[in-house]
Amino acid sequence: MGKSPDHVAWLKDTSERQATACGREIEIWEFDPQEDEAILSAWASYFRQHYISDDDLPAMVDGTGMDHAEYLRTIIFPDKSQTPGPSLRSGDFGEILVADYMEFILGYWSPRALRYQDRWNRNDSTKGCDVIGFKFASDQPHHGNDELFIFESKSGMSKTTNNRLQDAIDDSVKDKLREGMTLNALKQRMRVRGDMDQVERVKRFQNQAERPFRRINGAAAILDDTVFAETDLAVSDASFHPNADLLRLIVIKGPSLMTLVHALYERAADEA
């Protein structure tokens, strides 16, 4: 885990807790960005590099006849207005924010750039588990207290009648089936890039029967303040989840989130 980016300080625990219909605790967090140009610029650079590294960008732009900003807007980033681009933008933003929470607040290793860099279609979401994290209890090759943490993330940044936390819980049930494919995809991409130390770290979690570890699941909803106010979180039910005893529930709320999302993509393109 590297140094926490400055924008992570804008993600704060409200200390508010709500209970689900099945008696489980929901943590309420708030993301409240400030008008700090230096932090916003650094955040935009950090966010952009989830999709393409700054080292690779000039070579990939070469031959297209585009400048960096146009290339990012038309080839790499989800579309600003054409469906399903906007919903993919909000979904990616939510996943990356949850990965930041997992890595820089909870202390897991959360490799995520490969999820966004290997897309063939900028307006098609990547399959598999949304956010994945690893924690190692010791320097041993494997330890029974090592942890695999898989989060399902759902964004709700415009008016909706859906309970996005319930949607995340429901989809989290499927993560046990997606887990093996996600780990395999991660390992494959790391091998292609020659990151063999990371391959070994992922490989450790591919056979729980031979190398036991703790599996933790999470369901997160990233909600605009208006959606949060209209969502009855208390009706959420996780009693049917196969890993209900090790299921973490979190809601991250914030003001004018979709405006923020578009502004972040614009800055990420303009400052490339």
What confidence tens digit (pLDDT) does each residue in 155-208 have? 999 877 789 999 999 999 999 889 999 999 999 999 999 999 999 999 999 999
For position 160, what pLDDT does the model report?
Answer: 75
Average pLDDT over residues 48-56: 96
Average pLDDT over residues 56-85: 97
Average pLDDT over residues 50-65: 96
- For residue 233, name the pLDDT band (cuts at 50, 70, 90): very high
For position 231, what pLDDT does the model report?
Answer: 95
pLDDT at 19 exceeding the cut of 90 = yes
Instruction: Determine the straight-line distance between the first and last CA of the chain, rounded to whole angstroms.
Output: 25
Average pLDDT over residues 68-86: 96
For position 176, what pLDDT does the model report?
Answer: 87
Average pLDDT over residues 111-124: 90
Average pLDDT over residues 8-15: 98
For position 251, what pLDDT does the model report?
Answer: 98
pLDDT at 77 exceeding the cut of 90 = yes
> 213: which residues sit within 8 A by CB, 6+ positions away?
142, 143, 144, 145, 146, 147, 148, 204, 205
For position 265, what pLDDT does the model report?
Answer: 98
- pLDDT (tens digit per residue) in 125-144: 888 999 999 999 998 889 99
Which tokens go with 245? Answer: 């005893």
